[in-house]
């Protein structure tokens, strides 16, 4: 079924390859025209300048991931062995390694789990968190006409509102931690900043939410049985694969297509397909069988029409892993610095705001922390699997 869906989807996209390549080329040319008209050195520089982020953050991110591709190769190889397949295809990467272990958790128990997991953030933080739980900040369940997924919206002068579509399983508990991370970020920023400076940028938006997810994961692992640990460890590995490695792969593709237009070359579908296939080989290694249909995947990624945006997913989770590790290791001192980040809103350039929490994304240090965590989690998963066997 997965194979059929994969082939049918990409055959359809492939049939429109030339048209989509022409549309993408037009988008890139437009961005470059406006960048030149406004005296920027490149479209990347123009796009990142909107949030005062230096281009070195973008290039450092790609270089850091390239230095750590060996860890992704090990993960893909392990996933192939755990699934017991002769060939691992792209459509196999999203298969759960183990099923039926997340349990059924009522909403009140889920809230308590999140409350307990966020103990490292201190009582002042959890007091506001409990206030949100007790005072209907959250619309919990599915309903007719309600949008899908989950969402948080900070309202200055009132309090944040959170929308969920709660299901009694671990993913939904993690979603509560995630969305309440957004809500708490909005709350503390609104309390500390004027209306003008209260909103944080997209560059910082996923940091608080993902920090909460990481703290929840660490808490849950302490109380989990072996099968549950396999499930949870793989949750983290997949988060890093899809939010760091995959988004950086997208970011590198963006840099490539802008480079092609800058050099006076055209974006031909055939050439983009060749690049994309090689990119997947480079990012996932020899354990992944790269099917020819995958060549058309670039054409279905909508983020390429929002210039130089996707890298922020990777920087966000990188910063969050670094912050969560620091809080668990150093306690109150680390949270004191993190609270400065939560309260800063948009009052400073985002790179400087993250420095308040001890994360300097102009260096490779946060990326190294995240990659070490990925490596250690991979080793733990492998050891657990060997024990289970």
Strands (E), the chain: 88-89, 138-139, 151-153, 161-163, 288-289
* CA angle centred on 314, ends 220 and 154, rounded to 5°: 75
d(CA 275, CA 280): 9
Q: Among this protein's residues, is 179 annotated catalytic?
A: yes
Which among 385, 292, 367 has a CA at the least distance from the CA of 56?
367
Which among 97, 155, 164, 103 has a CA at the least distance from the CA of 133?
164
d(CA 313, CA 315): 6
Handedness of CA 174, 119, 373, 255 (dihedral sign): positive
Residue in 87, 109, 179, 238 annotated catalytic: 179
* Cβ-based neighbour number of residue 148 at 10 Å: 8
d(CA 278, CA 58): 21
Phi and psi at 154, nearest 5°, equal -85, 130
Contacts 24+ apart (CB under 8 A), 65-69: 65/244, 65/245, 65/248, 65/314, 65/367, 68/367, 68/371, 68/374, 69/282, 69/283, 69/285
CA distances for 352 relative to 57, 77, 110, 189, angstroms: 12, 38, 35, 15
Contact between residue 168 and residue 151 where contact means Cβ atoms under 8 Å apart: no
d(CA 330, CA 324): 10
Active site residues: 179
């Amino acid at each position: 079924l997965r194979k059929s869906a994969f082939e049918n989807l990409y055959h359809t996209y492939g049939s429109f390859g030339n048209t989509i390549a022409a549309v993408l080329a037009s988008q890139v040319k437009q961005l470059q025209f406006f960048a030149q008209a406004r005296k920027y050195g490149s479209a990347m520089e123009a796009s990142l300048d909107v949030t005062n982020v230096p281009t070195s953050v973008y290039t450092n991110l790609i270089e850091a991931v390239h230095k750590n591709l060996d860890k992704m190769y090990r993960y893909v190889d392990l996933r192939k062995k755990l699934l017991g397949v002769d060939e691992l295809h792209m459509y196999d990467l999203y298969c759960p390694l183990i099923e039926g272990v997340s349990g059924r958790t009522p909403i009140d128990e889920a809230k308590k789990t999140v409350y307990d997991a966020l103990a490292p953030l201190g009582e002042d933080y959890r007091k506001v968190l409990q206030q949100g739980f007790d005072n209907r900040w959250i619309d919990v369940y599915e309903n007719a006409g309600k949008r899908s997924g989950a969402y948080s919206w900070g309202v200055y002068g009132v309090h944040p509102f959170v929308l969920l579509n709660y299901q009694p399983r671990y993913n939904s508990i993690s979603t509560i931690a995630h969305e309440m991370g957004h809500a708490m970020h909005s709350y503390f920023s609104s309390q500390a900043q004027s209306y003008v400076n209260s909103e944080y940028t997209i560059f910082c938006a996923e940091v608080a939410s993902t920090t909460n997810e990481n703290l929840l994961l660490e808490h849950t692992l302490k109380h989990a049985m072996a099968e549950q640990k396999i499930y949870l460890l793989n949750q983290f590995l997949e988060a890093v694969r899809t939010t760091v490695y995959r988004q950086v792969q997208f970011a590198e593709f963006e840099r490539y297509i802008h480079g092609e237009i800058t050099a006076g070359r055209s974006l031909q579908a055939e050439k983009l397909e060749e690049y994309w296939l090689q990119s997947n080989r480079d990012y996932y290694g020899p354990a992944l069988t790269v099917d020819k249909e995958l060549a058309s995947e670039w054409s279905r990624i909508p983020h390429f029409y929002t210039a130089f945006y996707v890298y922020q997913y990777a920087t966000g989770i990188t910063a969050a892993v670094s912050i969560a590790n620091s809080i668990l290791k150093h306690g109150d001192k680390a949270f004191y610095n993190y609270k400065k980040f939560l309260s800063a809103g948009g009052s400073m350039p985002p790179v400087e705001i993250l420095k308040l929490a001890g994360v300097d994304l102009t260096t490779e240090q946060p990326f190294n922390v995240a990659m070490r965590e990925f490596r250690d989690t991979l080793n733990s998963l492998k050891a657990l699997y060997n024990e289970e066997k």
